[in-house]
Amino acid sequence: MTTSARTPLGVTLVDGGANVALFSSTAERVEFCTFDDDGTEHRTELQHRTGYTFHDIVPGVAVGTRYGFRVHGAWDPAKGLRHNGSKILLDPYATAVDGSYEWGQALFGHDMDDPETRDDTDSAAAMPKSVVADRSFDWGDDVRPATPLGDTVFYEVHVKGFTKQHPDVPEAIRGTYAGMAHPAAIQHLVDLGVTAVELLPTHQFVQDSTLADKGLRNYWGYNSIGFFAPHDEYSSSGTAGQQVAEFKEMVKALHAAGLEVIMDVVYNHTAEGNHMGPTLSFKGIDNESYYRLVEGDEGNYFDTTGTGNSLNVSHPAALGLIMDSLRYWVEEMHVDGFRFDLATTLTRQGGEAEKHSAFLDIIHQDPVLREVKMIAEPWDTAGYQVGGFPADWSEWNGKYRDDLRAFWRGDEGALGDAVQRVLGSPDVYEGSRRSPLCSVDFVTAHDGFTLADLTSYAEKHNEANGEDNNDGESDNTSFNGGVEGPTDDGGVNAYRDRQRRNFLGTLLLSAGVPMILGGDEIARSQGGNNNAYCQDDEISWFDWDAADQDLLAFTTAAIAFRAQHRSLRPEWYRTAPGDSDSTVSVLRADNAGFEDGDWADGGNRAVMLVLEQGDDTVAVLLNASDTTVEFTLPEKPGGGTWRLGLSSDPQQQVAGDAATVLVRDASFSALY
């Protein structure tokens, strides 16, 4: 007879049933509850306890079994204890979740009118259930693309929004993992030339009541509740575990096309919120182990995420959960890396962000995780930490976004910072002996304007979010001359189009690792909404019929130009001319070197960068001024004539023997 074990946690199928194991250092007893299709519940108390893990062999459990836990123990919120056996709790290690929430008193461990008082309303009928999924899968000849970071181009995209309105994807699978895996969807990515899709959250998340009450939905998914389960709403094949195989099929198809899969993961908090939030899983299992409580006031939650709670990464149980989840997605689901939302929170053990925190150290040592791409969003609500992560991590470089916007907006004094960004932000990374590949460069991302809207709206328009346009960052960009929305003025439209090419082109000419917001290449608009987290509709979905084919062609050409020139993809910072085969020259438009006074001149908005890597040379001419600038070209290293490779000005020409090039206002040209 099979003997139960405390590991692995969760539900593991064995002959005749399953080994069930749940960690709780504060529970008195634990019941494993299975549910028939009609909702009939069957309870089995876990009889064994090893350390802080309750475990047992439960007969009759099989693929498709729907289940949850009832965890009994003390109710004393002031001491951080929130056990309530009347509440069904999701398994933290469940690989699939099925069902929806019926919001009301039943989902809250406390009386909604008195948070100190326990509520004993049974939540079984109002809760989704964990599901035992079939974890077998034929990966065939699946091979990870393993694209070198220096050759990587990220494409940040939403699984649903990408194909929900795609005319060449069958309607039955639009907006799903299967839709993402459809040849028509993949062909767009391959033709564009990106190398990796960075998927907005696909961990199981919660559709919260505050949005539902407004007739809205959580679209982005930064509201996780299941760190092992692919979100069920993106499954076309069923939600009783079928979502696991469909996710794997998506990964397999993307790999076959040479595309890596990066997951945007939200380990910094969960959907259970603060002391007024629902009891769905961790809060009722072991509140003080999984969440960081306010010292001396354990009835409240320490919050550096702006969501009500923060995971307690200083505790082995919470840290172990994160590590087990990461390994699961790499080993079993074959993903190629992770982007960590509000990653700075995960480095806070005693309050301050720590470069050598347990979270970072354990990933560095892990033989599975150290082989995949790790990307930090290097800030949270309590601090900004760009440049503060270890050398083997990349970071979303918010300074790149801010400084390139300032430059192309024509701000005085922005030139010096913009040059640093284009060269891979050596002022941020080189001092700690990190490389340009630590910088994930971007000008737009999911949380803000799309590129089309950045260049079309002077103010945000978030009225559809139901907060009187008070949500989202106030971002008066003025990249459009102050004119809002569509216009028949050819001059304004031409300027907008040029600015869009400026941003995408500069991004792809910069050292570092570029990230394109999905849809920017076709001028996807959200109607000026720069905080579309709750818009699961046409505001957020790709409008393929309105795709800007000219911008798509330009972006495709810019990605190809980057791939063709290794001088645009340095793995280390460049040196002075003559010191090695990797050099950079920063020159004024008159081909003279910059002097201190030139940088101090706030009106100077033009620069020429001559980038060399071995026998490859590219000259990047940037002009953010409001007049045409004449650039005097240097001699091309190795001889020969300069040729035009890429320009944001469709009228730009370069004669084969030209000694000078005219670059019009607000535009760039790249020569090789």
Residues designated as active site: 341, 377
Taking residue 632's Cβ as centre, other Cβ atoms within 10 Å add up to 14
The conformational region for residue 519 under phi > 0 = left, psi -120 to 50 = alpha, else beta, is left
Q: Could you tell me whether strands 129-131 and 114-118 are parallel, antiparallel, or unpaired per DSSP bridges?
A: unpaired
d(C-alpha 387, C-alpha 396), whole Å:
10
Helix or strand (DSSP H, E) at 609: strand 606-613
Give the burial class of 571: count Cβ atoms within 10 A of its Cβ; 0-12 exposed, 13-18 middle, 19 or more buried. Answer: middle
Which two tokens mark 176? 């799903």
**Distance between CA atoms of 621 and 631, rounded to whole angstroms?**
8
Question: Element (H or E) spanning 539, and its range?
Answer: none
Task: Using the structure block, give the residue that is written with the tokens 């100190």.
Answer: 116
Q: In what order do the strands lie in the sheet with 644-647?
A: 582-587, 606-613, 616-623, 667-671, 644-647
Coil, helix or strand at residue 148 = coil
- CA gap 625, 668 in Å, rounded: 11
Q: How far is 289 from 293, CA to CA, in rounded Å? A: 9
Residue 37 burial (C-beta neighbours within 10 Å; 0-12, 13-18, 19+): exposed
Residue 78 CA to residue 382 CA, distance in Å, equals 25
Instruction: With beta carbons less than 8 A apart as the criterion, state whether 202 and 231 touch.
Output: yes
Cα separation of 321 and 531, whole Å?
Answer: 30
Q: 600: which residues sit within 8 A by CB, 6+ positions away?
A: none
Q: HSE on the CB side for 468, CA within 13 Å?
A: 0
Supply 559's token pair: 């990605």
Cis, peptide link before residue 8, omega less than 30° from 0: yes
**In whole angstroms, what separates CA 276 from the centre of its chain?**
28
Angle at 648 between CA 667 and CA 602, to 5 degrees: 20
Burial of 190 (0-12, 13-18, 19+ CB in 10 A): middle
CA torsion sign for 195, 443, 506, 526 is: positive
Q: Is 185 helix (H, G, I), strand (E, B) or coil?
A: helix
Distance CA 599, CA 526 (A): 37
Q: Which residues 6+ apart lie within 8 Å of 411 measured at CB? A: none
φ, ψ for residue 88, nearest 5 deg: -80, 130
> How far apart (Å, rounded) are the C-alpha atoms in residues 199 and 212?
24
